[in-house]
Amino acid sequence: MTAPRICIFGAGAVGSHVAARLLRAGVPNVSVIARGPHLAAMRERGLTFRSDREEFRVAVPVATDDPSTLPPQDVVVVTLKAPALPAAAGALARLLAPEGVAVFLLNGIPWWWNHGLREGGLRESGGPLPLLDPDAALWRNVGPARTLGGVVMSPNEIVEPGVVVHGAHNRFIIGEPDGGDSPRARGLVELFTAAGMPALLSTDIRTDIWLKLLVNAPGNPLAALTRLSAKDRAADPELADLGRRIAGEVADTARALGYDLTQHADADDTMGWAATRSETRPSMLQDVLHGRATEVECLLGQVQAYARERSVPTPVIDIVLPILRGLDRSLRR
């Protein structure tokens, strides 16, 4: 039986971590889509992975900035950030084999959210979210039925072309949008775990996404606006209080949508994980420092939209979000 073809689409920080682990584990038929100096470095001298526990370098036999040069892929691990996804929808759709699956390892609310959504015990399938998929390019071309959701508890950063540094903690959560226990989701969990990326199969991926938002929604925006590490923000009583208030508004919004995060033991685990990231730079801060568009809509914009739908007050988000959108506009220019 031929081994499945696996493509890492968008080998930035998280994607490079995943690629390095899969290649080191000897997983066959792995290709990487990257760009610029990082791609050139991987082609020339491979991909270097560093953490407090280990350092290794792997060759990257197939690395390109042109997805059309690759054959159809059985699994596409999408690690592009949310702002870049709509423009990549066509390339993603062409890359996927007819029975292929794309697992989206994203921060925040994902574009596929309305697919397989349960309301009142019934399974429904709404349409795309305008803030995240404004022209429905992902919904129409990729299609949520060919999609798996993912949550990443794994801080990483590209510190120089061809070198990814991994911080504390290393956990991935993968699940079907409709909460099913499918062979494709279970297969990816087993693949990640065997390659040194402990993964869990979720039958409630939306709750897992909300739990991660308790960390990401306050942490990323405040890091981007202040350029301070988590340790430095925690040492400032006013910033720490601001972060707690944003997290509280996220929890209130989730509860209004039927996700009571206080009932989950993982909420404490997730917040504890956040505290271990003291010196790491959140992804949105990395984007600001490199002059890239930010994940403002998936982390805060869509949360505010849901809050307004359900008449949930979000006074802190209502102040932070316009400022963050202004920062994002300046970076896009």
pLDDT, one tens digit per residue, over 25-49 is 999 999 999 999 999 999 999 999 9
Give how far the C-alpha of residue 121 lies from the chain's centroid of Cα atoms, to the nearest Å: 28
Which of 27, 10, 26, 24 lies closest to 77 in space, CA to CA? 10
pLDDT exceeding 90 applies to what percent of the chain? 85
Q: In what order do the strands lie in the sheet with 199-202?
A: 63-64, 30-33, 6-9, 73-78, 96-105, 147-153, 171-175, 199-202
Distances (CA, A) of 75 to 57, 82, 106, 147: 24, 19, 16, 10
Task: Give φ, ψ of 157 to 5 degrees.
Answer: -155, 135
Residue 123 to residue 64: CA distance in whole angstroms: 39
Strands 96-105 and 147-153: parallel
The b-or-e profile of 12-45 (16+ CB within 10 A means b, else e) is bbbbbbbbbbbbbeebebbbbbbeeebbebbbee
What are residue 96's DSSP bridge partners? 73
Whether pLDDT at 192 is above 70: yes
Q: What is the pLDDT of residues 49-76, one digit of tens each?
A: 999 999 999 999 999 999 999 999 999 9
| Both structure tokens of 86 | 């709509």
Residue with tokens 């568009």: 293
Can you tell me the mean pLDDT for 272-284? 65
- Three-state SS at 172: strand
3-state helix, strand, coil in the chain (%, to 5): 50, 20, 35
Is residue 122 within 8 A of residue 104, CB to CB? The reply is: no
Residue 121: per-residue pLDDT = 43
Burial of 309 by CB count in 10 Å (0-12 exposed, 13-18 middle, 19+ buried)?
exposed
Q: Judge whether residue 316 has pLDDT over 70.
A: yes
Mean pLDDT, the chain, rounded, equals 92
Query: Which residues are annotated as catalytic?
Result: 212
User: Which range has the worst mean pLDDT, 49-58, 191-200, 270-279?
Assistant: 270-279
Q: Report which of 138, 39, 130 is spatially closest to residue 88, judged by C-alpha positions.
A: 138
Q: What is the pLDDT of residue 181?
A: 92
* Domains located in the chain, CATH noted: 6-203 (3.40.50.720), 207-332 (1.10.1040.10)
Pairing of strands 122-124, 117-119: antiparallel
pLDDT bucket at 116, cuts 50 / 70 / 90: confident
Q: Which of 292, 287, 321, 328 is nearest to 305 (CA)?
A: 321
How many Å apart are CA 265 and CA 222, to the nearest integer? 26
Residue 302 has φ and ψ, to the nearest 5°, of: -70, -30
CA–CA distance, 87 with 9 (Å, rounded to integer): 13
